[in-house]
Chains A and B, each alone.
Chain A
Amino acid sequence: MSDATADPGKIEGPTPDDPLAQAKALDNVDAQGRMLAADGTPLKKSLARSLRIQKLRALMLIAPLLLFVLLTFVAPIADMLFRSVENQIVSDTLPRTVEALQDWDYESGEAPDEPVFDALYDDLFLAAERREHTRLGSRLNYETTGISSLFRQTGRSVEDLGDAYLDQFEELNEAWEEEVVWAELMGSDQWLEEQRAWDEESGDPLPEFQLREGVATLLPETTRSFLNFVEFIRTEDQESPLDEEPWSRVYTGLYTDLMNEDVANYSGPHAELLQEADAAVADFETQTTKEFFLSVDEDWGDPRIWGTLEAFSPNYTSGYFLNAVDMQLTPEGAGLRDEDERIYGLLFKRTMFMSLVITFSCILLGYPIAYLLANLPMRSANLLMILVLLPFWTSLLVRTSAWKVMLQQQGVINDVLVWLGLVGDANRLVMINNQFGTIVAMTHILLPFMILPMYSVMSTIPPSYVRAAKSLGATNVTAFRRVYFPQSVPGIGAGSILVFILAIGYYITPEIVGGTTGTFISNRIAYHISSSLNWGLAAALGTILLAVVLILYWAYDRIVGIDNVKLGG
């Protein structure tokens, strides 16, 4: 302590050049020399805590909206992306067929063998009962035309195969017609008791079906189809198996079982009936499933049908995307569509082309206006700005209907031209329901979106630059070209991308004034959603459009910045 003056660190009391010591003197420093906050915790910790609280508070404020947007907007978009590849309908409707088809090779050039047809019979019978086969048919019809009618036709006649066996069993013994016989044969005693006690009027749920012991090993096929049957009528129709004759499918199963299994040792209910049938089935008239399907429609022998089924059996498919770019997924793999079926390439090209034309018209018309507004005195510029903002604020439909009024053959422009004698009454100009109509109307509708960003850039260009250029000897044209124009390019860029993004996604205006040649890809998307019901294709087209817009938007962000999006002056 005595030689404290020799060591600056040990000086008692504050010195101006030692803040630590200064702080120590104001007793808010702990033993390790850390600053303390008022409540005694280290300052660093306290600051970190308050920062964390601040962050948390900010996030709490944002969270409700973020959640809202995620649920109402982002989830639908994600759903659309998912739908563009989703393809569970084939494997959901025909699960056994899809599995059986794995051993089949399209390259063989022949229709698959008996086991696959067996599986198809199984699946299709159930699908027909559930009325799902038409949905699958129309889904696959997008890929190979004719499948829809094939499925509908087959769905109608799929009962016939079993009916043939049913008739023969009934001829053998009337008892096979009895619902109760079937229930006693297949169901356990306990279930039979419960089922008999069940009263339809009571509203109680039907008792759970229980299989008779041993019957599953004795009659495997019959059991499986009977279980399907019971499950279906129990859940779909709320019917008791005691009152319903089994599906014809069950008789086919019984026939197969009796041919394959030995029922001589069976001693349950109706044993004689079963053994009698067992003895007789060998003489039954029979038909394999393959023969049956081919007799219903010989298209089932066409390997292309099976190839399509196989190509679309996975749960996710690129098929919709291929369709959206004029290709198709064929059994041989992805390939281009026929020349006359390629419409989406044309539509995408047309959408791009027309959006570009609209963007350029907007630049041509917007630039002089933005220049004038930026160079006029404040008062007159504000007044003229109203003329730009009024269309901007006017309902899109009002403007579209106004253009319909103007451009029609009996419309205002044609009337004026006829009145002036420039156009004969007989050959009025066709300006609507074509590309011209769409371009004019959309240029008008999107023009404010071009003028406003241009104006905000141009009003920041100091007029002294052009004056300086002129005083240095530049002509008017040179001064504009070399000095003013380069400074206004960011405005053109911002406006162009904005207009282009808006244009390629437009739906309403092309729909009303575009006719058939002036429509955009978005009109096709709407058509697939509401008319053709090919939702997957609509989703794929939407996904492609979305990707284009996002890339453009990213470019916009790089050029202008999201935060510089300004609204209405």
Chain B
Amino acid sequence: MSTSDVVITETRTMPYGFTCGVVAAAGAFFGLFVGTAQGSGFAGIALGAALTAALAYLAMAYLGTAQERSFKWGVIALFAVAGLLIGGLPGLIVGGLFGWFIGWFIYWVGRCRYRMTLPPYLTGGQVLWHYSFRVLCGAIFVFLITPILVVMPLSFNAENFFTFTPEMLAFDPEGYSLRHYRNFFDSSEWQQALRNSLIIAPIATLLAVTFGTLAAIGLSQPHVPGRQVIMAILISPMIVPLIISAAGMYFFYSRIGLQGTYLGVILAHAALGIPFVIITVTATLVGFDRSLTRASANLGANPVTTFFKVQMPLILPGVISGGLFAFITSFDEVVIVLFVGSAQQQTLPWQMFTGLREQISPTILAVATILVGISIALLTTVELLRRRSEKIRGMSPG
């Protein structure tokens, strides 16, 4: 597979029958949905197929590539107006999008542009498979991303529902509001939860990063007795299922009086975050040039100065991304806090969990949207740090 701007196979006009058939099939498929929504599925199929086939014939037989641009705009306008008549404002948008697609699709099929990026020797079956595979992957991506996208518009719902109201679908401003966000910022329960999350997560992260970085440096020394065992113990919080950790911590922490205290939750979360710090920092240290510390020592720096002036700046990206992992682990964690914490230590995830289980309120969706925003920010940071770290270590040219 090659980049899209290279033309491997020359385009040509396909037989009209083929073009019209394929486009009509697509038209029938979309027509089915419009038809069922309007009452008659069969009429939709027939009308959709006939309309799109006629458009395809018009474009291929009379207009050609010379008037491609004006044809496409015409189709968009046609379907937008049709949509407006059938379904109002949302119909206009859906119709416009469909018009754009069908205009592009007619020329893509009719001018054989789908072969442009593929080697000329492929059989028809192989080309079909190639595009079916793409469509399949597209569907899986839709599965991956839709749930997250669906949450966002619903959080602006004016009603107390977990689903789209007719007003929302009509793009009526009445159907949207910020009340759930307001609810989040006004409710003392949610604010207490937010405050708890913002107390617990940073302290747990700080603990995990401090101990974890030191230990990772120790582990990366050439001679460590029992490295395998130590590594296994340090990684274990990531391996053991959360419910088991939670059960054990609940039993043990109630024995020593840490159950239901901030300290208990913080310690538990720090333990969970440690494996992430260890893994990312040791991975960064793999590429660390040991002669730098020797050179620094040779120039008269003591180990502490060497660490802060030479080693730390170089492994900092790894430390920060490990810290971010530890932070998100604690910030997202709910099983441990449910057991180790008490009502006083309610965090955001706890509040969401009880909300989902007991009283269903779209405020949860508002919080979810805010959290998605936070995770996008964190994802971007980690990605940038990873690139920077690779650049520093000269592992990638970019």
Using CB atoms and an 8 Å cutoff, list the residues of chain A in contact with chain B.
Answer: 51, 54-55, 57-62, 64-66, 68-70, 72-80, 83, 365, 368-369, 372, 375-377, 384, 386-391, 393-406, 408, 410-412, 415, 419-422, 444, 447-448, 476, 501-502, 504-508, 511-512, 522, 525-526, 529-530, 535, 538-539, 542, 545-546, 549-550, 553, 562-563, 565, 567-569
Which stretch from B20-28, B71-79, B175-183, B216-224 is at the chain A interface?
A: B216-224
Cβ–Cβ contact B332 & A70, under 8 A:
no
**A80-B251, A535-B251 known; A391-B148 Cβ under 8 A:** yes
Instruction: Let me know if B241 is at the binding interface, CB within 8 A.
Output: yes
Q: Is B61 an interface residue (CB 8 A)?
A: no
A60 touches B242 (CB 8 A): no
Picked from A387, A476, A525, the residue with its CB within 8 Å of the CB of B247 is A525
* B137 is an interface residue with CB less than 8 A from chain A: yes
Cα(A131)–Cα(B141), bound, Å = 61
Most buried by A among B134, B136, B145, B339: B145
Q: Which residues of B contact A562 (CB under 8 A)?
A: 231-232, 235
Shortest CB-to-CB span from B210 to chain A, Å, is 9
Residues of chain B with a CB closer than 8 A to A368's CB: 133, 136-137, 140
- List chain B residues, Cβ under 8 A from A504: 241
Q: Which of B140, B207, B331 has the most CB of A within 10 A?
A: B140
Partner of B164, one of A76, A415, A522, A525: A415
Residues of A within 8 A of B255 (CB): 79
**How far, in angstroms, from A544 to B153 measured CA to CA in the complex?**
43
For residue B295, CB closer than 8 A to chain A, the reply is: no
B218 to chain A, nearest CB (A): 3
Question: Does B392 interact with chain A (Cβ within 8 Å)?
Answer: no
Q: How far is the CB of A528 from chain B (nearest CB, A)?
A: 9
Please, how many angstroms separate the alpha-carbon atoms of A250 and B364 in the complex? 63
Chain A to chain B contacts (Cβ below 8 Å), 23 pairs: A54-B223, A57-B221, A65-B274, A66-B234, A76-B248, A77-B245, A78-B248, A395-B368, A397-B334, A399-B148, A402-B368, A405-B150, A405-B162, A408-B162, A415-B163, A476-B129, A501-B241, A505-B241, A507-B246, A508-B335, A525-B243, A525-B244, A568-B379
**Pair A567/B276 contact, Cβ less than 8 Å:** yes
Binding site for A on B (CB under 8 A): 1-3, 33, 36-37, 41, 126, 129, 133-134, 136-137, 140-141, 143-148, 150-151, 154, 161-164, 207, 211-212, 214-215, 217-219, 221-225, 230-237, 239-253, 255, 267-268, 270-271, 274, 276, 279-280, 325, 328, 331-332, 334-335, 339, 349, 352-353, 356-357, 364-365, 368, 371-372, 375-376, 378-379, 382-383, 386
A397 to B239, Cβ gap below 8 A?
no
Known contacts A397-B368, A405-B150; can you find 9 more A-B pairs with CB under 8 A? A57-B218, A377-B3, A399-B147, A405-B154, A410-B162, A526-B243, A550-B239, A562-B235, A563-B231
Q: Pick the contact of A410 from B163, B235, B270, B383 — CB < 8 Å? A: B163
In whole angstroms, how far apart are the Cα atoms of A444 and B237 in the complex? 23
Min C-beta distance of A80 to chain B, whole Å? 4
Alpha-carbon gap, A415 to B276, bound state (A): 41
Bound-complex Cα distance A388 to B137 (A) = 12
Residue ID in chain B nearest A408 by CB atoms = B162
Given contacts A522-B241, A545-B241, contact A419 B133 (CB under 8 A): no
Known: A387-B145, A401-B364, A535-B251. A507 touches B335 (CB 8 A): yes
CB distance from A12 to the nearest CB of B (A): 36
- Expressed in whole angstroms, the minimum distance between the Cβ of A392 and any Cβ of chain B is 8
Contact flag A412-B163 (CB < 8 Å), given A54-B221, A399-B147, A401-B364: yes
For residue A149, give the distance in angstroms from its CB to the closest CB of chain B. Answer: 28
B6 to chain A, nearest CB (A): 11
Number of residue pairs A-B, CB distance < 8 angstroms? 279
Determine how close the nearest CB of chain B comes to the CB of A441; give it in whole angstroms. 9
Considering the chains assembled together, what is the distance between the CA atoms of A568 and B41 in angstroms? 45
A266 to B143, CA, bound (A): 93
A75 and B353 in contact, given A69-B233, A410-B163 (Cβ under 8 angstroms) = no
Give the residues in chain B near A394, CB-CB below 8 Å. Answer: 148, 371-372, 375
Task: Assess the B378–A72 pair: CB atoms within 8 A.
Answer: no
Q: How far apart are A326's CB and chain B's nearest CB, in angstroms?
A: 20
> Which of B151, B328, B339 has the most CB atoms of chain A within a 10 A radius of its CB?
B151
List the 9 closest A-B pairs by CB distance, nearest first: A505-B241, A61-B218, A76-B248, A402-B147, A421-B36, A76-B252, A65-B215, A80-B248, A58-B221
Do B137 and A408 touch across chains, with their CB atoms under 8 A apart?
Answer: no
Q: How far is the CA of A397 from the CA of B375 in the complex (A)?
A: 13
The smallest beta-carbon distance between B299 and chain A, in angstroms, is 19
CB neighbours (8 Å) of A525 from chain B are 243-244, 247
- Contact B245 A73, beta carbon cutoff 8 Å: yes
Are A567 and B325 interface neighbours, CB within 8 A? yes
What CA separation (Å) do A473 and B335 show in the bound complex? 55
Residues of chain A with a CB closer than 8 A to B236's CB: 69, 73-74
Question: With A62-B224, A415-B164 in contact, do A398 and B251 touch (Cβ < 8 Å)?
Answer: no
Residues of A within 8 A of B217 (CB): 61
B356 touches A404 (CB 8 A): yes
Nearest CB of chain A from residue B48's CB, rounded to whole Å:
14
B36 touches A476 (CB 8 A): no
Q: With A538-B247, A562-B232 as known contacts, state yes or no: A512 contacts B356, CB within 8 Å.
A: yes
CB distance from A364 to the nearest CB of B (A): 9
Taking CB atoms, residues of chain B closer than 8 Å to A59 are 218, 224-225
Q: Are A546 and B241 in contact (CB under 8 A)?
A: yes
Check B375–A83 contact: CB distance below 8 A.
no
B41 touches A369 (CB 8 A): no
Partner of A80, one of B247, B274, B331: B247
Chain A residue with the shortest CB-CB distance to B255: A79
Cα of A396 to Cα of B353 in the assembled complex, Å: 10
Q: Which residues of A contact B164 (CB under 8 A)?
A: 412, 415
Closest chain B residue to A419 by CB distance? Answer: B37
Instruction: Determine the chain B residues whose CB is within 8 A of the CB of A69 once the complex forms.
Output: 233-234, 236-237, 271, 274
Closest partner residue, chain A, to B151 (CB atom):
A402
Q: Is the CB of A393 within 8 A of B378?
A: yes
Q: In whole angstroms, how far apart are the Cα atoms of A76 and B247 in the complex?
A: 8
Residues of A within 8 A of B154 (CB): 405
Report the Cα distance A62→B278, complex, angstroms: 11
Known: A51-B223, A421-B41, A542-B248. A62 touches B218 (CB 8 A): yes
Interface residue from B2, B240, B382 paired with A568 (Cβ < 8 Å): B382
B220 to chain A, nearest CB (A): 9
| Residue of B148, B231, B353 touching A508 (CB-CB under 8 A) | B353
- B237 near A530 with CB under 8 A, answer no
Q: Judging by beta carbons under 8 Å apart, are B334 and A508 in contact? A: yes
CB of B144 to closest CB in A, whole Å: 5
Instruction: Check if A549 sits within 8 Å of B239, measured CB to CB.
Output: yes
Q: A402–B148 contact, CB under 8 A? A: yes
Q: Give the Cβ gap from A279 to chain B, nearest Cβ, in Å.
A: 55
Residue in A65, A410, A545 whose CB lies within 8 Å of B214 = A65
Q: Are B332 and A396 in contact (CB under 8 A)?
A: yes
Q: Is the CB of B230 within 8 A of A444?
A: no
Report which of B41, B225, B233, B247 forms a contact with A74, defined as CB distance below 8 A. Answer: B233
CA distance A552 to B196 in the complex (A): 36
Judging by beta carbons under 8 Å apart, are A511 and B37 in contact?
no
Min C-beta distance of B31 to chain A, whole Å: 12
With A405-B154, A562-B232 in contact, is A411–B248 under 8 Å at CB? no
Chain B residue at minimal CB-CB distance from A71: B267
Q: A54-B221, A69-B237 are in contact. Are A390 and B379 (CB under 8 A)?
A: yes
Q: Give Cα A351–Cα B208 distance, bound, in whole angstroms.
A: 32
A72 and B356 contacting across the interface, CB-CB below 8 Å: no
Chain B proximity of A395: nearest CB distance (Å): 5
Contact in complex: B279, A397 (CB < 8 Å): no
Please state if A542 and B244 are interface contacts (CB–CB under 8 Å).
yes
Given A69-B234, A398-B371, A403-B147, A79-B339 contact (CB < 8 Å): no
Residue from the set B33, B328, B375 with the largest chain A CB neighbour count within 10 Å: B375
What is the chain A residue whose CB lies nearest that of B123? A476
Q: How far is the CA of A420 from the CA of B230 in the complex (A)?
A: 58
Beta-carbon contact of A64 and B379 below 8 Å: no
Min distance, Cβ A527 to any Cβ of chain B, angstroms: 11
